Chains A and B, each alone.
Chain A
């Protein structure tokens, strides 16, 4: 275990060093994050203007959902996209061979090899936005609520990671999977509005098939003190199922892997 921690520290240390090689990029990315959040809030205000309600959510409560969405968007930028997007490159250039010959878990390597710090600013902004929305909604944050919110955010992170990883792992067969991840991103974008804002069939889809609801709506409901226990349990079960699926799909993909130049 110690070896994995040390490796992760080196991974992210080198990732940070790589980013800092290009100073201007860091500034531009930070600027992009702020502009993008501004745009999202503008769009949100069109649906949930002060005094207006949609599906039982008011403006302040919708801000919590938007806040959590921003957190996960940041997580995608910081962690999922740089790593899982690189699997295609490993396969095309044949450098996956080097990964497979290291005495370390290959899923660990391809999932955590790098890190884009620019996404972190989005995570911080999102948490801030959710906290502000909660404060405006008059939420009293007890340790129990905070703990449950954190747990559900972790459940959400596992689900999000597994969804991304399942798609990224198909690059072992189809070298072009970037379009598929764009579709996933578009579907996930539906998570920026509360689940109740959608018609019933979509709600079912977003709860069970592509569990977007667990990313944003469920943690927000926990924060607002109106989440039901069965839903939380379902979240845990789904995250375990998705993670197990991602893991076994990766092992299956590797069995089929015969490198780019045979």
Chain B
């Protein structure tokens, strides 16, 4: 459905120093600088896949997404989406895709969503009878009712997002580009949107590419994750593989019957904390079984837990550090 080969995008930006002098210099002699937003990215997505697209702000996610929709011309590389070169924006291509942006809306602010839906039906050339049927089906799935006949400005953020999704899916696209579709929604509304997307994918077999800041969206929906970091593809594969790559150690939490000194844990792993009977260790997965056996041999253990560090914490750290 999507093939991307050695895709790059370079922006030309003007540097401006602060202050009046900087402004004057900026006006007289503009210094241009090339910033590469996306570098040499390659991947392929099969029909029906749900793929999560991760990356910090400014990592190049949105730029890549927009190149896939045809909104930005790539600087170099090949993109083929649904058999088309997106940047040509061929009508057949546009009928097969949709874009939902969490922070932008296409619904008419002062009118009920139904009016915007009727406009979209006309634009896509969907006969009224068919449009009504699709609206009924989708609003049922989205749990939208009389909200469709209330002005958009009077809807809650969650209701508005659901109406946006309905407007974006009216033409039954095969390919959904979702840029932060749950941005700013409360936990319940996020869950509702997530369930809807999973159900939509199951029913229609649509391909979904989703960016989100909420790891819960990704873990719930996307078996496969693309992580883009400083414009480059850092990871392509299942989420748990990303976890083990980012955090090669397992967290082992112990509750002992009797307190033990720190020296007692030497050779077992890295000691994170030791408080009376509670011990936190980080252990290399390769030696995990050996270490656990030794622990059970050496100590009277009341409770034992082995965990992966939480993924959002790991990725959060990655984004904060800004390097790998």
Contacts and interface: CB of A to CB of B under 8 A. Distances in A.
Contacts of A259: 66, 71-72
B94 A102 contact: yes
B62 A97 contact: no
B69 A261 contact: no
A230 to B, nearest CB: 42
A101 B97 contact: yes
Given A258-B11, A259-B66, A262-B63, A100 B89 contact: yes
Interface string A19-31: 0010000000000
Interface string B62-91: 110010011111000000000000000101
B271 interface: no
Contact of B115 (A7, A14, A98, A255): A14
Contacts, number: 81
Nearest to B58: A262
Contacts of A93: 104
B108 A18 contact: yes
B23 interface: no
Grouping DSSP codes into helix (H, G, I), strand (E, B) and loop, the B interface class, with mixed when no group exceeds half, is mixed
A255 B108 contact: no
Contacts of A100: 70-71, 89
Contacts of A95: 104-106
A262 to B, nearest CB: 6
B302 interface: no
Interface stretch (B116-124, B229-237, B276-284): B116-124
Given A97-B71, A101-B71, A262-B37, A14 B106 contact: no
Contacts of A18: 108, 110-111
Interface residues of B, number: 35
B247 interface: no
B19 interface: no
Contacts of A103: 91-92, 94-95, 123-124
Contact of B101 (A3, A10, A97): A97
Contacts of B119: 7, 10-11, 14
A128 B71 CA distance: 47
A104 interface: yes
A18 B115 CA distance: 10
B151 interface: yes
Contact of A97 (B11, B91, B104, B115): B104
A93 B95 CA distance: 23
Contacts of B111: 14, 17-18, 21
Contacts of A14: 108, 111, 115-116, 118-119
Given A3-B122, A7-B122, A262-B11, A98 B95 contact: no
Interface string A222-245: 000000000000000000000000
Nearest to A256: B73
A94 interface: yes
B226 interface: no
Contacts of A104: 123
B125 interface: yes
B110 A21 contact: yes
B230 to A, nearest CB: 15
B99 interface: yes
B66 A101 contact: no
A94 B89 contact: no
Contacts of A21: 110-111, 151
Nearest to A254: B89
Contact of A261 (B11, B62, B70, B122): B62
A11 B120 CA distance: 10
Given A6-B122, A10-B122, A262-B37, A101 B70 contact: yes
Interface in A82-112: 93-95, 97-98, 100-104
Contacts of A17: 111, 115
Given A18-B110, A18-B111, A7 B123 contact: yes
Nearest to A261: B62
Interface in B102-136: 104-106, 108, 110-111, 115-116, 118-119, 121-125
Interface string A39-71: 000000000000000000000000000000000
B92 to A, nearest CB: 8
Contacts of A6: 122, 125
A224 B115 CA distance: 46
A258 B108 contact: no
A101 B104 contact: no
Contacts of B69: 97, 101
Interface in B244-294: none
A94 B99 CA distance: 13
9 contacts: A3-B122, A7-B119, A7-B123, A95-B106, A97-B104, A100-B70, A101-B97, A103-B123, A262-B63
Interface of A: 3, 6-7, 9-11, 13-14, 17-18, 21, 93-95, 97-98, 100-104, 255, 258-259, 261-262
Interface of B: 11, 37, 62-63, 66, 69-73, 89, 91-92, 94-95, 97-99, 101, 104-106, 108, 110-111, 115-116, 118-119, 121-125, 151
Given A98-B106, A100-B89, 14 more contacts: A6-B125, A94-B101, A95-B104, A97-B69, A97-B101, A98-B104, A100-B71, A101-B70, A101-B94, A101-B99, A102-B94, A261-B62, A262-B37, A262-B72
